[in-house]
Structure 1
Amino acid sequence: MATLLLILAAILVIAGIVSIVRGQLLWGIVLIVVGLLVGPGGVSVFN
Structure 2
Amino acid sequence: MLLILGIILIVAGVLGLLRGQMLWGIVAIVVGLILAPGGYFGF
TM range (shorter): 0.7 to 0.9
Q: Give the gaps of 5 or more residues in structure 2.
A: none
State TM-score, norm by structure 1.
0.78
Of 10, 13, 17, which residue of structure 1 is paired with 2:14? Answer: 17
**Structure 1 consecutive aligned stretches of length 4 or more whose deviation exceeds 4 Å:** none
Residue 38 (str. 1) matches residue 35 (str. 2): yes
Give the Å deviation of 1:13.
Answer: 0.1
Q: Give the gaps of 5 or more residues in structure 1.
A: none
Give the Å deviation of 1:6.
Answer: 0.8
Identity across the alignment (%): 59
The amino acid that maps onto 2:18 is V
> Could you say which structure has the greater relative contact order, defined with CA pairs below 8 angstroms and 6 or more residues apart?
2
Question: The residue matched to 1:23 in structure 2 has which SS?
Answer: coil
